[in-house]
Amino acid sequence: MKPARMIPVVCLILAACLFGAASGVFFALTSDLPQIRSLQEFKPSAVTRMYSSDDILLTELFDEKRNPVPLDRIPSLLKSALLATEDRNFYNHIGVDLKGIARAIIKDIFAGEFAEGASTITQQLAKTLFLTPEKSLSRKIKEAILAIQIERRFAKDEILGLYLNQIYLGSGAYGVESAARIYFGKPIESLDLAQCALIAGLPKAPSRFSPLVNREVAKKRRNAVLKQMLELGIITQGGFHQAAKEPIISEETAQDTQHASYFIDYTKKFLEREIGASLLYKGGLTVKTTLSSKLQKEAETAVETGLSAAKKRMVQARIKAPDPQGALIALDVLSGGILAMVGGKDFVKSPYNRATSAQRQPGSAFKPFVYASAIENGFSQNQMLLDTPAVFRGGRFGEEWRPDNFSGEYLGEITMRKALAISENIPTVRLIEKVGPASVIRFTRKAGIDSPLSPDLSLALGTSEVTLLELTAGYAVFANKGEWVKPECVTEVRNAEGLIIWEMIPEKRVVMTRTGAAIVTDMLRAVIEEGTGKQALQLGRPLAGKTGTTNDFKDALFIGYSPSLVSGVWVGQDIQTSLGNGETGSKAALPIWIDFMKAALADSPYSYFDVSDDGIYLFLDPDTGRLAQEPFEGSVKALFPNTIEIPPD
């Protein structure tokens, strides 16, 4: 073949080789690229919001704080500011800006190193969604290829919308809506020019330019964005000067001081078990809780005040390293909904929830379950019990046991009503001996107390440890016509489309008869009207409850209720040492309970406890047990089953 004729053949072969080499490089670079069409089904993780029952935002839960919003909700000023700073040619290029790349290459050559530059918004989106942040030529080529593929499949506005909802904008914010709420505490559509410019300036260096990190740096960057908008004619000279003078961020942070921290933590753990952590933190859910924001604030204030007073008394009593802790739980009697929860005095310092997790001896606060078990077994509140020093067999370890009355005094024979009202120990031990510890345990199990209970006579005096939540829910049985309702923290969960995906179904069971519950309530009213809880008379409405104090004053409790609300208070030290001599349930816990209930019931209508048709009020001598239909000297009005026989005078 003549040389002249060989030239086209050689060129063809060389072209084929070059094409093959180029194809090899292309396929090598793109063989591991993700499928772009997966973007069509792409759903970014979104923020879950938790609300109180009165629609106050309690907290936001997220894996990445992201609040996707449609493009039409985003202010045009923000879109213009972003395009002015990040990609002025966005609506004209094919995904890559060839002129920009050429300029960047020249700069890199003179700089002597590879630097990030000339990335279009589409390239940034490709990197954010599909690639690692490494700086290399191969990654840059992949980024460009992906950008071109994205541009072929999606409209410009779709790409811009994805970018605005995905880009990281510092301080935990992913997307412009999250940034608006974190930095300014408002939705994206409410931003003004200065705020739009600040957000538009963040993608270049979000951590550095965040106004929560460095306000001066953030201000310089914001004003630089405003200047570019002015140069492009997006804003006027007057608009520029006005926006440049605006403060960089409000002194009021976007995130309010968080209250109800123990409740929020408790609810998060509950929902993780119920619906799974992935859906909870990524699904953009709306969680409606049972919490009352008003009652929660009152509970926190009451506990804080009460613990401050207790610590002052401990200091005066020279208690070593006094550090009283407290807990409060409040439940709706009918629904079981948790209305308020305080698990300690400082969640940040100690997130351990003493209302739901701490198992402590309830002391005399356990006695109502002994008396309720007796009422269900046919005893009546005028039943006489012997209150004298005694030695019992059947203590915790089976040995002889010599309990004492807290007062150190003994009254001989007294009624069940009086024994409970003044919290005498010996009569209560005699009562559990008659009823049987096993019977009391069966009753308390039905009343929702799942903690281990020791089946011996000491159970009567609250020696077995329980949680405050269990104990408080158990008392609700007496207010709720004998029915136990499982405490709940969430009423419903809705998905991002507003559909209910989880709803509270109350778990209930009958524990005792309606009449029996009413009689126990009547006996617990005597605690307040005639016994250890007299301080609560100041509230001036029907209330029932019981104090509790453990050995050496380690734990102080008061559990009490109105017809609609039950609440329990515990005060103690985490190291289980004494609060100090005299720090009883009536001294350390009852004042907190009173402060809370006073505020909680302030706007509630006056109401009465339930009395069934099977009950009858009679007049009782609390010392002798004598009954009559008419009042007599020293008598009190008390409730009995209507089958009771009244002996003639």
In sequence order, the β-bridge partners of residue 387 are 412
Pairing of β 173-174 and β 65-66: parallel
Q: How many whole angstroms separate alpha carbon 545 and alpha carbon 568?
A: 9
Those residues whose C-beta lies under 8 Å from the C-beta of residue 640, and which sit 6 or more positions away, are 380, 381, 382, 519, 615, 616, 617, 618, 627
Provide the b/e sequence for 475-492 (b: ≥16 CB within 10 Å). Answer: bbbbbbbbbbbebbbbbe
DSSP per residue, 426-472:
HHHHHHHHHH-HHHHHHHHHHTT--S----SGGGGGT-S-B-HHHHH
Going across the sheet that includes 565-572, the strands are: 338-342, 325-332, 565-572, 555-561, 544-549
CA 207, 208, 211 angle in degrees (round to 5)? Answer: 85
Residue from 364, 423, 578, 586 carrying the catalytic annotation = 364
Q: How many whole angstroms separate alpha carbon 410 and alpha carbon 412?
A: 6
The three-class DSSP label of residue 504 is coil
DSSP state, 168? B
Going across the sheet that includes 500-503, the strands are: 57-61, 48-51, 286-289, 490-494, 500-503
Ramachandran category for residue 517: left, alpha or beta (phi over 0 → left; psi -120 to 50 → alpha)? alpha
Q: Of 131, 166, 127, which is closest to residue 45 (Cα–Cα)?
A: 166
Q: Which two tokens stand for residue 479?
A: 């207010």
At 544, which helix (H) or strand (E)? strand 544-549
Residue from 52, 53, 86, 424 carrying the catalytic annotation = 86
Those residues whose C-beta lies under 8 Å from the C-beta of residue 168, and which sit 6 or more positions away, are 128, 174, 203, 206
The three-class DSSP label of residue 57 is strand
DSSP state, 173? E
Q: Which two tokens stand for residue 9?
A: 């053949």
Q: Which two tokens stand for residue 507?
A: 């778990």
DSSP state, 256? P
Q: What is the dihedral of CA 550, 552, 554, 558, to 10 degrees?
A: 40
Q: Which residue has the tokens 């510890």?
A: 437
- Is 364 noted as a catalytic residue in this protein? yes
Q: Which residues are catalytic?
A: 86, 364
